[in-house]
Amino acid sequence: MQLQTITTYGADTLGTAFVADGLGVVQTGGYLRLIFASRTDSRPGQLTLTQAASSGSDLQPGSDIAVQDANGTARLYLFTTMGDMLRTTTLNGNGKLSGSPGATTTEGTLIGVIAMEVIERAGGDLAVLSQKGIAGLRMFGLSDGGALTLIGSVQDEVKSHVDTVSDMVKLTVGASDFLLALSPTENGVTVYHVGATGLELNDAMGPYDGLAINGPVAAEVVQVGGQTFAIVASTGSSSLTALRINPLGVLFQTDHLVDDRDTRFAHVAALDQFSAQGRVFIVAGGTDAGLSVIEVLPGGELSKVLNVPLETGPGLAAVTGISVAVYQGMANIFATDARGDRILHYGIDLSTLGPLIQGAGTLTGTSADDRLIGSAGADTLFGGAGDDFLHDGAGSDHITGGAGADTFVMASDGQVDYIHDFQQGLDHIDLSDWGRIYSAASLTITATATGAVISYGEERLEIASSSGLALSLTDADFLF
């Protein structure tokens, strides 16, 4: 998986001097269009990127865009904390925008909108807003014509974290609808059940619950392995946190990834998701002059896939917004940065991406870039050609990567595991699950006639080189 720079859309092309962080991508009427807004007044703009391969309809809104299905018509609500008002517009059959007046509300002009979610209900649509200078959340009834009528508010409680809210995301788990809200001042996450009368506090997680985040600003909800996860980006802690939400709307932390020397999401401020070959990926960016691609694995584990520095060419300042759309075999990544006067377009070719294969016994990959995940028993994994990720699971396992740049991900299981064809200079061994290891100097590495043996505590890994010669392993061969 490689990232390429496609182009940069400047102020002349966009028709506005400053661009808001929220971006949207719509594929409809045979065209693919990028939707954005002016940072100063929230007025929408649009670029036609290409004639789409499909005539279907698909709208992927960004962080500063909320969408309502108004009797089959997509109505968009655009906002920025620096904009003058909440604006609304509609999309016609070809994905063209129609008008951009200020939203009609019972509370006059709504300014300083930080986050907004539209929840479609049988009894009438509900809009939930977070506004600058107003504590908690405000709930509005929403007509098909886009008019907002204030019907109530949600105030912070002892067991919730909504004093200020930086982002919200709606989700459905089983037969229940929920709203997840982030608080950057209370460093917590709150889940509300969407009931007939509005929002009902369901669960919350914060510092006293062991949630080690600082300044959560953005979240994405993904489905992996039949389970629902929220991936939370936190600026202050430079972290990505995976939270599982069960059918009762209860939160469970499954993983926590902090920016390090290998990643590019220091002070992360934006993220989006995309899916391909049945696999789910997160794209994240912060102040690291680059982007990171993280895969969400079954069980909610976060796995580093791609970390790209972008200092050269057009460069990339602190990332403020990300939107990703998959079309024509490519993940198209659109980003705004601290310069504020451009949209940067990157792409990841997905033609070589293979499937995720999980199971017990013997697992065999394809000629593409696969991910193989073993079981708790003794497994045999064959990656085949391609740049594969091979997870050994909890048993004593035998792993053969095959051709390509492979990553062997070793579990902390106290078992002896075997790698049969390590290609030094091309393959890597991921020992992040073994504990707090930061250098090969922490390992006991013994060269053998045909490879090496690695020991650390109760862990033992026997490695045969692809050349059949002894290995002298260094930090460059590992991921910690």
| CATH class, 354-479 region | mainly beta
Domain boundaries, the chain: 3-353, 354-479
pTM as predicted: 0.93
Residue 11 DSSP symbol: H
pLDDT at position 56 is 46
- How many Cα atoms within 13 Å fall on the side-chain side of residue 322? 32
Average confidence (pLDDT) over 7-36: 85
Residue 371 pLDDT > 50: yes
Quickly list H helices, 344-414: none
- Confidence band for 463, pLDDT divided at 50, 70 and 90: very high
In the chain, % of residues over pLDDT 90: 75
End-to-end CA distance of the chain: give it in Å, rounded. 20
| CATH classification code of 3-353 | 2.120.10.30
Q: Flag the least confident range among 75-79, 220-224, 310-314.
A: 310-314
pLDDT at position 433 is 94
Q: Flag the least confident range among 66-70, 223-227, 288-292.
A: 66-70
Average confidence (pLDDT) over 375-398: 96
Q: What pairs with residue 226 in β-bridges?
A: none
Q: Residues with Cβ < 8 Å from 416, sequence gap 6 or more? A: 396, 460, 461, 462
Query: Mean pLDDT score of the chain, rounded to an integer?
Result: 92
Least Cα distance to 90 among 63, 71, 113 occurs for 71
Residue 18 pLDDT > 90: no
CB of 8 closer than 8 Å to CB of 44: no
Average confidence (pLDDT) over 395-409: 97
> Which tens digit of pLDDT belongs to each residue from 99-132?
788 899 999 999 989 999 999 887 789 999 999 9
pLDDT at position 52 is 52
pLDDT at position 61 is 67
* Count of CB atoms situated within 10 Å of the CB of 241: 26
